[in-house]
Amino acid sequence: MSSARVGAARLSTQIKVTRTGSTIAGPTRAGSPRNHILRGDCAALLGDLAPESVDLVFADPPYNLQLANKLTRPDQSVVDAVDDDWDKFDSFNDYDAFTREWLAAVRRVMKPQATVFVIGSYHNIFRVGAIMQDLGFWILNDIVWRKNNPMPNFRGRRFTNAHETMIWAARDSGAKHYTFNYEALKAANEDCQMRSDWLLPICTGNERLKDEAGRKTHPTQKPESLLARIILAASNPGDLVLDPFFGSGTTGAVAKRLRRDYLGIEREAAYAEAAQARIQAVEPLGAEAVALAPTRRSEPRVPFASVVEAGLIAPGAVLTDAKRRHKALVRADGALGITGGIVGSIHRIGALAQGLPACNGWTFWHYEREGALAPIDDLRSQVRAQMRAAE
């Protein structure tokens, strides 16, 4: 879009698509509505939203593909590529100005601990990343979406373009407590850390929205699996997820299913209407299916003395490691003692017993339970359960 077209779009009437699918002409109201699609220029509409009101942003902006000619297969059939006006810009300078404008508007509405994912291809993502850094965003990761069914390179003159890149960034370098559901992602990945290369299929089959003639409703519809991983990774139930280039509504559909709120902005009426119908058909999952499991970082601190005071282990009991090579005596004050009169915390004594600089005493030390050894961390879990029940 040229800068002139951006200005024209701002002067046009803005339309709000409501949850029931009806439209209301006129300027959008102040604040940040939830579960709505706002129709119009994203930078202008973002300016109407309340500052610091959004928890997560997913942005799939125009890629500025600049296709000079039609793309054909070896049999000369035409590939259904992106040649819509919304992806056309007069120059790189125009594209950069457009990118800077919407990114600055997005940054204004992000909460201090909010994060943003921006997806793109080699045509635009490097320009986007540089502008994000210029604006003060703090890049956390670049994530490669590897497509397990990419479109082949028909002319055989380049590598098959089998991936897209996402930039994940915090609002600024001071954001230390942004949402990242590390342990949930690790559990879903067979207890391995989730990597920054994601192998997922492109959008096909029944998930692909089509019109009455069987044509794609949107040329670059993203798969729900991609948005599900993003939303599960970087938001919590009830959070507000913003998508300033809403398109076919994948963000809204997935957010609703995962019991998050969404706010979409879309210029094209056909896309907004298709997205609205799609979202209305979604049934949210049960609360238990999306509830976040407590993480170790979020749970209350429990000293070993509390375990002793709760009567879960008695002073004078002997703790050992899992292989019974080391022993320590539980003292009445919650400290441990070992041979030589050395006294200290469960962590310090565990480290000294092994000759190591540090040790997690909760997992190293074990107690006898019904003829078998169990980590004292199990006793800490019981204390935490009692604390939750008393709330």
pLDDT by residue, tens only, the chain of 391 residues: 333 333 333 333 343 443 333 333 333 344 589 999 999 999 999 999 999 999 999 999 998 776 445 544 455 554 454 455 645 678 889 999 999 999 999 999 999 999 999 999 998 999 999 999 999 999 999 999 998 877 777 677 888 888 999 999 999 999 989 999 999 999 889 889 999 999 998 877 777 777 777 777 767 788 999 999 999 999 999 999 999 999 889 999 999 999 999 999 999 898 899 999 999 999 999 998 998 876 666 678 899 999 999 999 999 999 999 999 999 999 999 999 999 899 999 999 999 999 999 999 999 999 998 889 999 999 999 998 888 787 6
Q: Give the domain-ending residue among 226, 256, 290.
A: 290
Beta-bridge partner residues of 210:
216
**Same domain flag for 236 and 199:** yes
Q: Answer yes or no: is 2 within a domain.
A: no
Q: Answer yes or no: is 295 within a domain.
A: no
The DSSP letter of residue 78 is: B
Instruction: Please report the pLDDT score of residue 2 as a whole number.
Output: 37
**Same domain flag for 268 and 374:** no
Instruction: Please report the pLDDT score of residue 376 as a whole number.
Output: 97
**Same domain flag for 119 and 155:** yes
Instruction: Please report the pLDDT score of residue 225 as a whole number.
Output: 92
- The CATH number of whichever domain residue 42 belongs to comes to 3.40.50.150
Instruction: Please report the pLDDT score of residue 170 as a whole number.
Output: 98
**Same domain flag for 309 and 284:** no
**Same domain flag for 87 and 187:** yes
pTM beyond 0.75: no
Instruction: Please report the pLDDT score of residue 385 as a whole number.
Output: 86
Q: Which of 344, 354, 343, 350 is nearest to 319 (CA)?
A: 350
Q: Answer yes or no: is 297 within a domain.
A: no
Q: Answer yes or no: is 6 within a domain.
A: no
Could you read off the pLDDT of 130-180 as tens digits, one per residue? 999 999 999 999 999 998 877 777 677 888 888 999 999 999 999 989 999
Please give the Cα distance from 215 to 84 (Å, whole number): 14
Q: Answer yes or no: is 367 within a domain.
A: yes
Task: Extract the tokens encoding 375.
Answer: 């980590």
Q: Answer yes or no: is 74 within a domain.
A: no
Instruction: Please report the pLDDT score of residue 370 as a whole number.
Output: 86
Q: Give the domain-ending residue among 225, 257, 290.
A: 290
**Same domain flag for 268 and 341:** no
**Same domain flag for 198 and 324:** no
**Same domain flag for 228 and 198:** yes
Q: Report how many domains make up the chain.
A: 2
Spell out where the chain has E strands. 15-17, 23-25, 36-39, 54-59, 110-120, 138-147, 163-170, 197-200, 240-243, 261-266, 318-320, 327-330, 336-338, 342-344, 366-369, 372-375
Instruction: Please report the pLDDT score of residue 83 as a whole number.
Output: 56
42 within 8 A of 101, measured Cβ to Cβ? no
**Same domain flag for 177 and 227:** yes
Q: Answer yes or no: is 29 within a domain.
A: no
Domain that holds residue 106: 36-66+82-290
Q: Which of 255, 110, 262 is nearest to 178 (CA)?
A: 110
**Same domain flag for 156 and 221:** yes
351 within 8 A of 366, measured Cβ to Cβ? no
**Same domain flag for 255 and 314:** no
Q: Give the domain-ending residue among 234, 257, 290.
A: 290
Task: Extract the tokens encoding 317.
Answer: 């009991």
**Same domain flag for 200 and 110:** yes
